[in-house]
Amino acid sequence: MDNQSTIKWRPLWKVWIPIILFLIPLIMEGQILGTIFTPYIYGLILIAYGIVYYLRTKLWQSVALTIVMAVTIWFYFLAERPGRTIETFQLIDIYLGQEAFLWMKDYITMPVWFIFLALSAVTFFTMGPTLTKAIDLEGSAIRLFKLSARQVFSEGNGFTDRPYTAGSHSYNRDELIGFALFLEGKKICLTEYPDKGIKLIFSMGISPLCKKYRDRISYVMFKDDGELTVFISEKDYKQYRKQYTFDQLCEMMGKTFLRFAEYYKINKEQRIITEIKSV
């Protein structure tokens, strides 16, 4: 089975990709056409991506951060090149007029832009870690679902909205807490500590960082009485390219976490990272 094509495609950005996608078109446009459409179009794309990411993960920080980034980019080019901006807009029949030009020269200046830049930096360092962690958790969830699907060879039964008993475990609560803290530290999943066990939460859709919707998110739960329960959300199940047998998929997800717990117990945690990176 080709596990690389198990999950439907989705954009997962690296930090450097948006920078390259901005600088190269900007330089080429300036050299070839002498216009500056790029920063304004790029800002709109940033905002659109922030909205799309919010709709998927329910993290409002994505919208706030992309709006601040877009406005900061726009403000720089309005402050540094007001005349060229007006000339560029005129090419698409947007005429700002002399009064708008004078207003920009008076109020949209580089010193004011530096204030916006400082606010943008504060916003980035405040909200950026949350989004970075969300992206890491999403990537880990994709790998977990690929690992589980790799062991399923039948198709048929569709999604059922219920937890699945995937077997049993023999770990005590202290061992499970250590295991959960390890997984959380490596951004593989998040952890909740209900009275009856330890719940390991992961998702390819709604982010585990969004507490409001955690009841709709996939999880594996190690109960104190030794029972192992798996829940795969409908949204996560629909991210597979094939309709894998649901009970088998839940069972394999449970076995994946049991295997990881055993690696942790025998002090071979690196095997967990190696196995996750293998898909």
Cα distance between residue 239 and residue 230, in whole Å: 17
pTM of the model: 0.85
Identify the pLDDT of residue 2.
Answer: 43
CB-based contacts of 146, cutoff 8 Å, min separation 6: 3, 4, 6, 7, 279
Contact 77, 39 (CB under 8 A): yes
- Non-local (6+) Cβ contacts of 212 within 8 A are 58
Mean pLDDT within 198-208: 95
Check if the beta carbon of residue 138 is closer than 8 Å to that of residue 207: yes
Rounded to whole angstroms, the Cα distance separating 158 from 179 reads 31
Q: What percent of the chain has pLDDT over 90?
A: 53
Q: What token pair was written down for 181?
A: 């803290």
pLDDT at residue 16, rounded to an integer: 62
Query: What is the structure's pLDDT at 61?
Result: 94
Tens digits of residue pLDDT in 141-160: 999 999 999 888 777 767 88
Q: Average pLDDT, whole number, for the chain?
A: 87
pLDDT, one tens digit per residue, over 11-33 is 666 666 777 777 788 788 777 77
- Residue 273 amino acid letter: I
Angle between helices 61-80 and 38-57 (to 10 degrees): 170
Nearest residue to 200 via CA among 226, 174, 216, 181: 181
Phi, psi of 74 (to 5 degrees): -60, -45
Order across the sheet with 219-223: list the strands.
164-168, 227-231, 219-223, 197-201, 190-192
User: What integer pLDDT is reported at residue 158 of this predicted model?
Assistant: 73
Length of the chain: 279
DSSP 8-state code for residue 193: -
What phi and psi, each to the nearest 5 degrees, are found at residue 219?
Answer: -160, 160
Q: Is residue 1's pLDDT more than 70?
A: no
Interval 70-89: pLDDT, tens: 999 988 888 887 777 777 78
In tens, the pLDDT along 101-127 reads: 777 777 788 888 898 899 999 999 999
